Amino acid sequence: MAERRVTVGWAEGLHARPASIFVRAVTSTGVPVTIAKDGGNPVNAGSMLGLLALGAAGGDTVVLASEADGADQALDRLAELVQEGLDELPAA
30 exposure class (CB count in 10 Å sphere: 0-12, 13-18, 19+): exposed
15 among known catalytic residues: yes
Region of 86 please: left (phi>0), alpha (psi -120 to 50) or beta: beta
Instruction: Kindly name the residue from 2, 7, 9, 15 that is annotated as catalytic.
Output: 15
Residues taking part in catalysis: 15
